[in-house]
C-alpha cells in the first residue's frame, strides 16, 4: 500500500484536497503486482499569484517516481502530476520488458493487466530519442557576464560559450528562481 504524506506551503491542506490526492495516488497501485510498502511524498505550494504547484515523489527499490506540475486549479495540477507518473511507470515497464525478455525477477514487479489495450506499445515509440532539429555554431570567447547578456538578448534559457579565462567550454543558464547558473567543463 502506498501511504500518502502531504505537506502544504502557503496553503492549508483541507480534507477535500487530501482525499483527492489519496484517491489519485491509490490508482497508481494497479500498475504493480505487489504494491510497494512505501510513502508518496506530496508537496503543495501556492505562490502569491495563487498558482498552485504539486510535487509527488514516490521512492521505491530500484525506482524513484517523481513529477511536478503547476496549474491555477490545484485539483487539475494533481491530475496532471498523476498522468506524468503513469507515463513514467509505463516507460519504465517498457524498458524492463525490452531489456529482459527472458526470466527476470523485476519483470513481475509490474502488473501486466494494467498495461492492456496498447498502452505499452504507445510508449515504446516514446522511448526512442528523436532529434528534430540540429544547429551548428562557432563558440565565441567571452566571460560569463557577456554570455548572460547574449542569452537574454536571444531570449534563450541557456547559452554555450568559450570562457575567456579558462579557455574551456562553459554554459550559462537561467534557473527556475530567475537567477543564473554556470556550468564549466575541464
Q: If you write DSSP's letter for every residue of 86-100 in order, what string do you get? A: HHHHHHHHHHHHHH-
- Which of 63, 65, 71, 80 is closest to 21 using CA atoms? 80
Q: Is residue 91 part of a domain?
A: yes
pTM (whole model) above 0.75:
no
- Core vs surface per residue 155-175: b (16+ CB within 10 A) or e: eeeebbbebeeeeeebbbbbe
Q: Is residue 132 part of a domain?
A: no
CATH number at residue 84: 3.30.160.100
pLDDT at res. 156: 86
Q: Is residue 48 part of a domain?
A: yes
Residues 104 and 19 placed together within one structural domain of the fold: yes
Query: Which of 4-13, 65-74, 127-136 has the lowest average pLDDT?
Result: 127-136
Residues 55 and 85 placed together within one structural domain of the fold: yes
| Cβ(26)–Cβ(58) below 8 Å | no
User: Which residue reads 536571444 in cell numbers?
Assistant: 154
Residues 34 and 113 placed together within one structural domain of the fold: yes
Q: Which domain holds residue 174?
A: 141-184
In this predicted model, what pLDDT tens digit does every residue of 57-100 receive, in sequence order?
888 776 788 888 888 888 999 999 999 988 888 887 777 666 66
Split at pLDDT 50, 70, 90, the class of 15 is very high
Please say which residue of 82, 105, 127 terminates a domain.
127
Q: What is the spatial distance between Cα 106 and Cα 127, in angstroms, rounded to a whole number?
A: 19
Q: Is residue 94 part of a domain?
A: yes
CA distances from 54 to 6, 97, 139 (A): 10, 31, 39
Into how many domains does the chain fold? 2
Q: What is the spatial distance between Cα 2 and Cα 57, in angstroms, rounded to a whole number?
A: 11
Average pLDDT over residues 142-160: 88
Amino acid at each position: 500500500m502506498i501511504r500518502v504524506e502531504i505537506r502544504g506551503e502557503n496553503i492549508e491542506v483541507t480534507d477535500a484536497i487530501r482525499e483527492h490526492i489519496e484517491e489519485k495516488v491509490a490508482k497508481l497501485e494497479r500498475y504493480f503486482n505487489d504494491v510497494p510498502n512505501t510513502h508518496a511524498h506530496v508537496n503543495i505550494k501556492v505562490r502569491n499569484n495563487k498558482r498552485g504547484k504539486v510535487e509527488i515523489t514516490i521512492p521505491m527499490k530500484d525506482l524513484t517516481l517523481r513529477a511536478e506540475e503547476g496549474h491555477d486549479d490545484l485539483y487539475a495540477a494533481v491530475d496532471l502530476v498523476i498522468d506524468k507518473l503513469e507515463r513514467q511507470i509505463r516507460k519504465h515497464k517498457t524498458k524492463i520488458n525490452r531489456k529482459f525478455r527472458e526470466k527476470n525477477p523485476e519483470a513481475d514487479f509490474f502488473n501486466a493487466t494494467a498495461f492492456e489495450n496498447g498502452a505499452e506499445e504507445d510508449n515504446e515509440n516514446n522511448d526512442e530519442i528523436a532529434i528534430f532539429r540540429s544547429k551548428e555554431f562557432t563558440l565565441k570567447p567571452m566571460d560569463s557576464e557577456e554570455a548572460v547578456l547574449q542569452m537574454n538578448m536571444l531570449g534563450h534559457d541557456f547559452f554555450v560559450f568559450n570562457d575567456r579565462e579558462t579557455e574551456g567550454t562553459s554554459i550559462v543558464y537561467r534557473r527556475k528562481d530567475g537567477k543564473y547558473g554556470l556550468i564549466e567543463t575541464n
